[in-house]
Structure 1
Amino acid sequence: MAQSDENLANLDLNGLRAEIDDIDQALQSLIIRRTKVVQAVGAYKDQVIAAGGKVKVPYRPAREARIMRTLVDRHNGAFPKTALIQIWREMIAAGTRLEAPYTVALCRNADGVDCWELARLNFGCLNEIVEFDTPREAFYALEEGRAAVGVFPKPELGEAQPWWTLLSDDSPVRIVSKLPFGGRPVGRGEQTEGFVLAAIELEESGDDRTLFIVSLPNEISMDTARKKIVSGIEGVDVLGVTIDEATNNRDFLVDVPGFLTAHASTVRERLNTNGLNAAVIRMIGSYATPIPAEELH
C-alpha cells in the first residue's frame, strides 16, 4: 500500500523496497491500460478508413511537443526531466508502432556526421533505422514510402549540395521537427542537431518556427543579404546558403519564428521592406520550438 511522504522516513530498507515494488506494479498497470487505449485509437481509425474517411498518420510531432512541454511544466522532484521525457518517448514510439511499424531513414553530411543517437532517442528502441550513403538517397526513400521519417543533420553554412534544396513544391516531404527537442544524448552525438523530414500534414504546437527557402539574385553579396534578412524579420536565423546553378540565384534557408506555413507573402513583404526582392520564397516545413536547456534542469 502506498505510503505518504511523511511515513517514508519511518520505513526500513525492506519497507522502502516494498514501496518501490508497489509503485512499479502500479506504473506497469497504467502502461498496460494506456496500451489498450492506443489500440482502441488504432481500431477507431481503421473504422474511419473503412468508411471512406481520412485520419492523421500516427506520427504527429506537434502533439508530441505539447505532451513533452506539459510533462516538463508539471514536473517536480529530483527525477531528471530529460529522463522523464525519454520514458514518454519510448511509450509514444511503441504506441505509434502498434498502429503502424515504420522505418527511420538516416544519412550523413559531407563531414561524416549523422544523427543516429538523436534518431534512436526520438523514435525509440524498436523502430528500424536504415542508414543511407547520401542525403539524396534518404530523401528518395521518404518520397517513395520506403521510410516514414528521415533524420538529417543540421545544415551548415557554405556546404556543397545541401539536402534542404531537395524540398520542392512537387514533393509532399517537409521538415516537421527539430532534434533534440527535450535534452541531448550524453557522450557520442552530444553536440549533434538535426531535422526530421516526413510526408505528413504540418500542425501547430503552440510555439513553432517555419522554414523558408529565399532565393535572391546572386548580385547581392551573401553578407549583405544575410544582414538584411536578419534585420528585416525579428528572431529570424539563416541556417544555410547555396548557389542554385539552374537560376544562378543564391538560396538561403531561413528559419522564421511562428507557424507561418500559409504566410510566405508575409515573409516577402518584410523582406521587401528591407530592400530585398526575392525571386522565390518557398515554405519547406515547420517545427515545434525545442524545450530550452535551462527548463530541463
Structure 2
Amino acid sequence: MSQSRSPESPAAVARAAPAVPPASASREPPSALDLAALRAELDALDDALHDLLMRRFALVGRLAESRAKGDGPALRPGREAQILRRLLARHAGPMPAAALVRLWREILAASTALQGPFSVAVFAPSAGSGHARLAREHFGAATPIRPLPTPAQALAAVAAGEASVAVLPAPEEEDTPEAAWWTKLDSPRTQVVARLPFYRPRFVAGDPEALVVSVLPADPTGRDRTLIRLEAEAGQSRARLAAALAAAGFAPLSLMLQREGAATLALAEVEGYLAGDAGALARLAALPFARAQLLGAYAVPETGE
C-alpha cells in the first residue's frame, strides 16, 4: 500500500515549481532537448497546481464539517462572485479571462457539491436551450441538471426540495403572463440570488440571460442589484410607479409591468443590496402601493469590455 504524502505549504510549492520564462525570452523554435525540458517544467507546474487543489478541497471539507446544518444548499453566490472578481482584477498574461472564470466555476461547483447534495432545475423547453447551457457552464459539468418545460415547474422543484436552485429566463417586458414567473415567486420563501452569465468577454444583444432562484437569500458583495415587486391598482402608469420609487430613493434601472385583472404588477431593478438596510426597508414599506416586496438580489455581472 502506498503512503499518501501531506500537502506542502504554498511557499514550498512555489519554491519547487520552476519559474515560467517570459514568452519573449526566445524567438527560436525549441529543439528536441528544449521541448523535453519545457514538458518537464509543465509537468512540475501541473503537480504544483494539483497539490494546491488538494489542499483547497481539504479546507472545503473542513468547512463542510464545521458548517451549521441547515435545510438549504451550501451555495453562496455572493462569496463566489467576490472570488471571481478578485481573480479577474489580478489576472494577467495570455490566458483568456473567460478560461480563468470557466476553470474556477468548475472548482466552485465541486466545492459546493462537497458540502452536500446539489442539483439544478432549469427552464429548458427544447434541446439545446440557451438557459440549459448557462446552467451547465455556471454550475459545472458534474452537477445534476434537470430540464423542465415551464418556469412554474422549475420553481416547484425548488419549493419541494427536489432541486437546490432554479435557473429561469431573465424577465422581459414582452413576456406573457405565463412566462412572467416573477409575478408568482413565493418570496421570501424563494428568492433570486444570482444572474447568469456572471462573466462574458463582451456584451452581445440577444444572448440568453437568466436568474437563479434558491431557498437561501443572496449574499451582499459590495456591487449588487435588488429586485422589487410592486402591486398597485389596475391601470397604474409606468411613470407614476417610477416617480414614486425615485422619490423614495429607489430610482429604477428597469421597470417591467404585468396587468393582472384588478392589479398592476411591476418588477423594478434598483442599485444596491436592500435586504439588510433597515432604512431602505422602511422607505419601501411607505410606498403608496398595495404591496412592495423584495424578490432577491444578485451580484452585478462582469464583462471583459
TM (normalized to structure 2)? Answer: 0.80
Helix, strand or coil at the partner of 1:284: strand
- C-alpha change, 1:218 and 1:97, in structure 2 (3 Å) is same
Q: Give 5+ residue unaligned stretches, structure 2.
A: 1-16
Bigger mean CA offset, 158-167 vs 137-146: 158-167
Q: Give 5+ residue unaligned stretches, structure 1.
A: none
Q: 1:1-297, aligned counterparts within 5 Å?
A: 2-3=18-19, 5=21, 9=25, 12-45=34-67, 48-49=68-69, 57-108=73-124, 114-161=130-177, 162-169=180-187, 172-183=189-200, 191-222=207-238, 224-225=239-240, 228=243, 232=247, 236-245=252-261, 248-262=262-276, 263-267=280-284, 277-294=288-305
Helix, strand or coil at the partner of 1:18: helix
Residue identity in the other structure for 2:252: V
Helix, strand or coil at the partner of 1:5: coil
Q: Cα RMSD (Å) of the superposition?
A: 3.0
Deviation at 1:89, TM superposition (A): 0.6
1:155 and 1:93 map into 2 onto residues whose CA distance is: 25
TM (normalized to structure 1)? Answer: 0.82
Residue identity in the other structure for 1:213: R
CA contact (8 A) 1:215 1:278 kept: yes
1:151 and 1:84 map into 2 onto residues whose CA distance is: 23
1:173 and 1:76 map into 2 onto residues whose CA distance is: 38
Q: What is the CA deviation profile of residues 15-38 of structure 1, one whole-angstrom value per residue up to 9, with x for unaligned ones?
A: 222221211111111111211111
CA contact (8 A) 1:108 1:153 kept: no
Aligned residues: 276
Helix, strand or coil at the partner of 1:115: helix
Residue identity in the other structure for 1:159: D
Residue identity in the other structure for 2:189: P
Residue identity in the other structure for 1:254: A
| Higher gyration radius (CA) | 2
- C-alpha change, 1:131 and 1:281, in structure 2 (3 Å) is same
1:281 and 1:90 map into 2 onto residues whose CA distance is: 37
2:45 and 2:149 map into 1 onto residues whose CA distance is: 46
Deviation at 1:240, TM superposition (A): 2.9
CA contact (8 A) 1:158 1:242 kept: no
Residue identity in the other structure for 1:42: A
Deviation at 1:85, TM superposition (A): 1.1
CA contact (8 A) 2:227 2:297 kept: yes
Q: What is the CA deviation profile of residues 184-217 of structure 1, one whole-angstrom value per residue up to 9, with x for unaligned ones?
A: 6999x98010000000033211111110001222
CA contact (8 A) 2:255 2:266 kept: yes
CA contact (8 A) 2:227 2:268 kept: yes
Deviation at 1:221, TM superposition (A): 3.2
CA contact (8 A) 1:230 1:237 kept: no
1:23 and 1:194 map into 2 onto residues whose CA distance is: 37
